[in-house]
Amino acid sequence: MLRYHAINKSYDGAKALDRIDLDCPAARTTVLIGPSGCGKSTLLRLAAGLIRPDAGEVRFEGAALGPDNLRAARLRMGYVIQEGGLFPHLTVRANVTLVARELGWPRARCEARLLELATLARLPVGLLGRYPLEISGGQRQRAALMRALMLDPDLLLLDEPLGSLDPMIRVELQEELKTIFERLGKTVVLVTHDLGEAVFFGHRLVLLRAGRVLQQGSAADLLERPADPFVSAFVRAQRGPQWRLEPGAGTI
């Protein structure tokens, strides 16, 4: 479905991606994980055609993305950028239906799809007329997901879609998102820096460091068969200090 082939990308001489080969199979969730600055968002921007590789190619459904096919390919992708990226001056309704209206969808079709997505993403219909700043962080993420799903894309690119949410809302949305991905059978590439979230979502996990893939495989592969000392260090750091309550602890 989506394949990165021998990708290099530098910014001002600094390598952001260094010979990346990566396959994101259809109807599966591939989770990109790794420390800040390792190149996760750059990989999604390449897939969405916002930036071009210095070398190598991104293939979507077997065809290398380029000027000729980018727009058509882009319409088959839903993309949620880091921080959601809703336009603050547009209502939720206008944000979600923006591209469909540009494509000339009739009003009734836009509205029907909007209501279908509100049900799917469990966003109360009464909020559709509000502006992004007038709804909660969790509701904004639901709206951003609705916008990404509007054209029923084959591929979803989600850049830390739950990054800024408080833990309880985050867990609730994680479960709902996973159900949505499975129900719709979507191909998903999801970025997170949270190992617990990666394990929860990922059929396949791809751990990056400094623009290179250190290890890819199942959660069990990364946790039990780390391919590199950095993988173990990353896992250990994310597990954090273990809570241990001694008998009598907490009593006054």
Q: Please give the residue ranges that form the binding site for ligand ADP (CB under 6 A).
A: 11, 16, 36-42
Nearest by Cα to 145 from 183, 112, 187, 173: 173
Q: How far is the CB of 96 from ligand ADP (least distance, A)?
A: 25
Question: Could you say which of 29, 30, 41, 192 contacts Mg ion (CB under 5 A)?
Answer: 41
Nearest by Cα to 38 from 169, 203, 207: 207
Rounding to the nearest 10 degrees, give the CA dihedral for residues 106, 187, 20, 16.
Answer: 50
Contacts with Mg ion in 111-140 (CB under 5 A)?
none
Residue 42 vs 187, nearer CB to ligand ADP: 42
Residue 24 vs 121, nearer CB to ligand ADP: 24
The percent helix, strand, coil of the chain (3-state, each to 5) is 40, 25, 35
For residue 16, the partner it binds in ligand ADP, Mg ion, none, with Cβ less than 5 to 8 A by kind, is: ligand ADP
Binding window for Mg ion (CB under 5 A); candidates: 20-28, 38-46, 103-111, 129-137:
38-46
Residue 44 vs 110, nearer CB to Mg ion: 44
Residue 16 vs 92, nearer CB to ligand ADP: 16
Residue 41 vs 216, nearer CB to Mg ion: 41
Nearest by Cα to 207 from 178, 224, 228, 187: 228
Residue 41 vs 215, nearer CB to Mg ion: 41
Alpha helices in the chain (DSSP H): 40-47, 70-74, 92-102, 107-120, 137-149, 167-184, 195-201, 219-224, 229-239
DSSP-derived secondary structure for 173-187: HHHHHHHHHHHHT-E
For residue 187, the partner it binds in Mg ion, ligand ADP, none, with Cβ less than 5 to 8 A by kind, is: none
115: amino acid identity, one letter: L
Total interface residues for Mg ion by CB under 5 A: 1
Token pair recorded at residue 20 = 């990346």
Q: Look up residue 242 and give its DSSP letter.
A: P
Q: How far is the CB of 160 from ligand ADP (least distance, A)?
A: 8
- Token pair 């390598």 is at which residue? 15
State how far the Cα of 245 lies from the Cα of 158, in Å rounded to an integer.
Answer: 38
Q: How far is the CB of 159 from Mg ion (least distance, A)?
A: 6
For residue 42, the partner it binds in Mg ion, ligand ADP, none, with Cβ less than 5 to 8 A by kind, is: ligand ADP
Residue 2 vs 44, nearer CB to Mg ion: 44
Residue 42 interacts with Mg ion (CB under 5 A): yes or no: no
For residue 202, the partner it binds in Mg ion, ligand ADP, none, with Cβ less than 5 to 8 A by kind, is: none
Measure Cα distances from 4 to 33, 69, 127, 212 in Å: 16, 16, 39, 12
Q: How far is the CB of 222 from Mg ion (least distance, A)?
A: 20
Which residues sit at the interface with Mg ion, rule CB under 5 A?
Answer: 41
